[in-house]
Structure formats: structure tokens, C-alpha cells
Chains A and B, each alone.
Chain A
Amino acid sequence: MTQPVLEIRNLNVEYGLGEQAVRAVRDVNLTLHRGEVLGLAGESGSGKSTLAYGLTRLLAPPGVITGGQVVYHPEKGDPYDVLGLSDRELRSFRWAETAIVFQGAMNSLNPVHKISTQLTDVLRAHEPTMSEHSRNARAREMLKLVGISPDRMDAYPHQLSGGMRQRVMIGMALILQPQVVIMDEPTTALDVVMQRQILGQLIELRERLGFSVIFITHDLSLLVEFSNRIAIMYGGRIVEEAPAGSIYRDALHPYSKGLLGSFPALRGPRRELTGIPGSPPDLKGMPTGCSFHPRCPKAFDPCAGNIPVLGRPGTPDGSARTVACWLHPTEQPVG
């Protein structure tokens, strides 16, 4: 758990240029360790998806990465900055090292090609020496791995159910055995039973294959259940990061507490649902200081004036967690 596989250093992403630019991700520092599931939570507009797509430069125009590094540690060899790769290098990095399971399985598959074509074209691009026969064998194997009968190879996306399509996407993500799998709201379009089934299966696959996961969702209760560590984003910044259990038991940031209060816990004692008053901040006109202070029930003097930086709080488990809040004095900044 200690070895990092992906380190995000002061990543900044903006939409648009110049004066009208909207800063969607601000100075984010985050480390993904080998073999762990890192949860990323926040309301819509908090920048969590932007962060995930920004990592491998997949943001559509007018998205621009204005600064930062994404350092990748390959299994063998020296670490390197993904943002510094040439287009050609980036192409071969993508999917082979970090794969993505996209939000909404409906539109992630190309409607005019068979799923076999969509599974094997990855292999054709990344392993050109592979024979057609072994490509098909590999694709079939991946389908079996995610619990789809290999005779559906010749099916078109519209012939599969939503759950099956999402499984195909997961199988596709694992076909090159990447080190990192980014899952962006992978199950929001599915019903609750299907959600848990697919996530359970994914965790099991992770144990077998040993990849790391960045799991993005607005559903904190899912994260508490399935991830090792959780990072909470608000207004483009990470406001708290801690082991899943610590977040669940005693979240330090008022926003984290608010998020927890808005979902029913599936396990553990019952709690009252509260929700957070107000609405997510407008990224164009961010409040000064801590961006959460206008909605924060515990805001006080310094909150409106200065931005709190992520640091280790003085709590007993302070060495394993970070928080950015004036309520929790920190000794040294991280990152």
C-alpha cells in the first residue's frame, strides 16, 4: 500500500481561455497507491470528473491544463510525467497503463460496431504483432472474466442490456492489464442491485489482477463500502482525504459531514438524513477564502478571508489523513 503508482502534483484545469476561463480543478495533489481503491467524491461540478479526464488529457475543448504534473510509476523503470508525453507516447500510454470505465454505458460503446471489434481494436493498436486468432481469444477471455457468455462477441451494443454493456466496458478496460483503472460514476445508470453486483465483481477482479482504482461517484455510501481511501472534492479542490473508515466515523471537514448526512448508510447504525443547505458554488465567481464558507454551518472569522491548505490535522490519526479547514489546524502542508 505504500508504493505510489500515480502522483498528481498541483494539477490545474481550466475551461476556456483568458478572462472568461473557469477554473475547474485547482492545485490538486493526490497520490494513488499500488493496489488500492481511491474514492473521489463530491457534488456535481466539484471537478472530480474533470480531474479524472485531465489526468490523461482527455478533456474536450475548451478544457485546458494550465499546470501541474501527473507522475506515473511503471512496474519497471523510472517514473515519468504523463502530461509531458508526446502524442505518440501518450497514445501508447493510454489504456495500456490507465484505462477508464466511463459514466453512462449507453453511449460509451460505438453503436455501429460489434463488441468483438471494439474489444480487439485496442489489441490491434497496442500489440500489433498479435495474431487475429489470439486477439479474439483474448477478447473472449475478457468477456468470460466479467461474466458475459463469449458467444455474445458478435452482438451489437444495442442488443445488450445496460448492465451487460457496463460489464463489456469493464472487460475492455482490463484487456491490456493496466496498472490503474479510473471509474467515472460507472454504475449511476444502473439499478441498485446491478450496481452492487458489478462493483463487487470489480473488487474481486482487483484482488486477482492487482490493479489500482480511482473510483469517482457522488454516492459517498458506495465509496465507504468499496474503497480504501476517500478524497472529498469541493469547488475544484480536495478538502479532505482519509481512510474510508475514518471518513465514515469522524469526518473532519464540515462538507464531508454534510455529504455523509445526505445518504442513507447501507450498513451500520441508522442516522438522520440532513443534506447540505445551499447549492454548489458557481465556478465563475468563487467565494473568497474557503469556498465552502457560505454554506458552512461552522464558518468563523478566518474562513472568508484565507484559503485553507490541505495538511495533516492534529488528531490522533493525523498522520494518515489530511484536511483543508480552519477548524482543524495543520502542522505542515502536504504536497
Chain B
Amino acid sequence: MKYFLQRLAFYLFTAWAAITLNFFIPRMIPGDPVQALVTKYQGQLSSKAIESLYVLFGLDKEAGIWDEYVSYWKQLLSGDLGLSFTFFPTPVSEIISESLPWTLLLVGITTVISFFLGTGLGVLAGWRRGSWTDGLLPVTTFLSSVPYFWLGIIAIYLLTGPDSFFPSSGGFDSGLVPAWDQYFVPSAIQHSLLPALTILISSVSGWILSMRNMMVTVSSEDYITVAHAKGLSDRRVALSYAARNALLPNVSGFALSLGFIVGGTLLVEIVFSYPGVGFALFQALGASDYPLMQGVFLIITISVLVANLLADIAYLLLDPRTRKEG
């Protein structure tokens, strides 16, 4: 429990650091992005909306930095992330709450599948060293060096087309309205297959390699020899002794590398025009839509922190040494 609380405190601290970073970055932007917007939408912006944008960008010349920081937090806690320039005048929070489920489902599910699949293959490759599984290694090394988005491009080039089963872009058929019905759900699944496959192929190799190396390292531990000496079945030694221990560093590796993986997967959304936060970020970049960019960064960071916490809980359950005695 103590371990868990420590981790929780750490993640809260990190969230605070990320939000503070987010507060300072826009203050580096040269010029006055808000003024440009105000001029563009002359008369359409309420004075309250202008006010809120000024707080976000720190252009309120009269307020001190501390006051700005306090009002930034107030605004954030009330769920106000400002208005998006690109989808004017939709609030950023609305855009994010629409796109986040897409990303969570696509990236979340594929990352978890990739972790389990890669770990499983890594167990095989590490345990049966010198067998056919060694042939996997050069392939996985190459695949893990390919940028996610380029693999996406190749997938679109090779697998999509006018009469292909795979759609080349979007999250669902353009004629449909998002709803949990028999038309929309299959279409959404069909659209997510290729992006998911892309993420899977490029991220699975990392897990294979690290789990294989961990298995090789663990295999020469004394307790593995003991397990063999005890006359246990090969399966039991491989899974319950070797893999069970090799899994621990891989799970913490999972937590630590989430930040990297999520970064890569956002780009897959861009290539496939998939309606998640990565695509939203891309659209925001094109239009210098700073409020949306910041909102996306914030939500990605918080999602990664939550995922990290989940991985920590998994580690806690897997390693008895982190549990408190008694």
C-alpha cells in the first residue's frame, strides 16, 4: 500500500509539472495569436471568451505571473481549455471529449495486444534459443526501426484501393452518424483494422526483443536449475519459473515506454485520418491552433500517467517483494 501511495503521489506531481509546463510554453510564442483571432472573428467573440484566451496565453499585461498562474488553474479545474481556432467556436474540451474515445480504443487495445503477443513470442524465442525462433530476431529488429507512420503509408499503398476491404482513411463510413448501433459499430471496426495492424506490427517487435533478452538472462538463474533438478515439466519451468520472473522487468518497461509508444501511434492516426486526438493535434498544428494543441498535450500526458499507474498496479500484483509484509 505504501508503494502504491508513493507512486500515486509521484504521478500527481508529474501531472502538476506537465500542467505547469503547459502554462509556460505558450508564453514563448512570438506575437499575439489571440489578437489575430479576435480581429478575424470581429464581433463574434464574447468578452468572456476573449478573457479566457488571454488567461491561456498570458497576454494579460496587467496581471502578474502568479495571478496568471492561479487563474489558469481555476480555468483548468472548471474544464475550460479555451476555444479551438480550427473548429471555431467549438470549445477545446468538446473536441477532445469527441476524439479521445477513438484514440483510447485504438491505441489502448492495440498496445495491450501488442504487449501480450510480443511477450509471448519473446518467451518462445528466449526459451528455445537456437531453434527457428532465432530467425525472428533480424526481422523484428528491422520492423522496430521503421517509423510507425511510414508503415502506415505502406499499408495504405499495398492494402487499400477502390475494391479493397480496408478503407484508407477515417474512422467510419461518411454516411453514418456515431451511435452504438448495428451500422456504425461494424464500420468503425472495419476502419480501425488497418491502423491497428500498423501499430501492432511496429510495436510488437520491441516487446519480443526485450522479453527474449530477459528470458535468456533469467534462464541462467539458480532457481531455473533447481526447477530442472526438481524434474518439473519443461512447460512449468518455462512459464512458472522463467517467464514469470522475466515478466517483471518487462512490465515496468511497459510503463516506462508508454510515453514513446503513444507518441508513435498518434502519427498513425494522422496517416489514416483517424478521428482521434493525434489527428486533432495534426489539424491544430496546421492552423496554429494553440489552445487545441495544449489541450491535446495535456490529455495525452494524463492518459499516459493513468496507464502508468495501471501498469504499476499490475507490477504490484506480480512481484511479492513490493508488497508489504503481513
- Direct contact, A vs B (beta carbon within 8 Å): yes
B62 within 8 A of A: no
A94 contacts chain B at the CB level, 8 A cutoff: yes
Chain B residues within 8 Å of chain A by Cβ, number: 24
Contacts A110-B223, A121-B240 given: A156-B321 contact, CB under 8 Å? Answer: yes
Contact with B along A104-137 (1 / 0, CB 8 A): 1001111111100000011001100000000000
Q: Does A199 contact B (CB under 8 A)?
A: no
**Do A111 and B225 have beta carbons less than 8 Å apart?**
no
For residue A56, CB closer than 8 A to chain B, the reply is: yes
Indicate whether A112 sits within 8 Å of B319 (C-beta atoms), given known contacts A60-B220, A107-B222: yes
CA distance A231 to B223 in the complex (A): 28
Number of A-B pairs whose CB atoms are under 8 Å? 77
Contact between A111 and B230 (Cβ–Cβ < 8 Å)? Answer: no
Contacts of B233 in A (CB 8 A): 91, 125
CB-CB under 8 A for A121 and B230, given A110-B245, A111-B320, A111-B321: yes
B240 contacts which chain A residues (CB < 8 A)? Answer: 110, 113, 121
Task: Judge whether B222 and A102 touch: CB under 8 Å.
Answer: yes
- A95's contact among B220, B221, B231, by CB below 8 Å, is which? B231
A interface size (C-beta, 8 A): 32
Q: Pick from B223, B227, B321: contact of A158, CB below 8 A.
A: B321
CB of A288 within 8 Å of the partner chain: no
> Judging by beta carbons under 8 Å apart, are A125 and B229 in contact?
no
**Does A159 sit at the interface, judged by CB under 8 A?**
yes
Within the complex, the shortest CB–CB distance from A151 to chain B, in Å, comes to 13
User: Cβ of B318 and Cβ of A107 under 8 Å apart?
Assistant: no
Contacts of A158 in B (CB 8 A): 320-321
- Tell me the dominant secondary structure on chain B's binding face: helix
> What is the distance, in angstroms, from B78's C-beta to the closest C-beta of chain A?
46
Q: Which of A104, A113, A126, A172 has the most CB of B within 10 A?
A: A113
**Does residue B181 face the partner (Cβ distance < 8 Å to A)?**
no
Verify A95–B229 contact, CB threshold 8 A: yes
Give me 8 other A-B pairs in contact (C-beta within 8 A), A103-B222, A112-B320 excluded: A58-B225, A99-B229, A110-B241, A112-B244, A112-B245, A112-B318, A121-B230, A125-B232
Give me 11 A-to-B residue pairs in the complex whose CB atoms sit less than 8 angstroms apart, sorted by A's number.
Answer: A56-B229, A60-B225, A91-B232, A95-B229, A108-B222, A108-B223, A110-B223, A112-B318, A113-B240, A125-B230, A172-B230
The interface of chain B, by Cβ under 8 A from chain A, is 220-223, 225-233, 236, 240-241, 244-245, 248, 318-321, 325
Please give the residue numbers on chain A whose beta carbons come within 8 Å of chain B beta carbons, in ascending order: 53, 56, 58, 60, 90-96, 99-100, 102-104, 107-114, 121-122, 125-126, 156, 158-159, 172
Query: Which 8 A-B residue pairs are closest in the complex by CB-CB distance?
Result: A94-B231, A107-B222, A156-B320, A91-B231, A110-B223, A95-B231, A95-B230, A108-B222
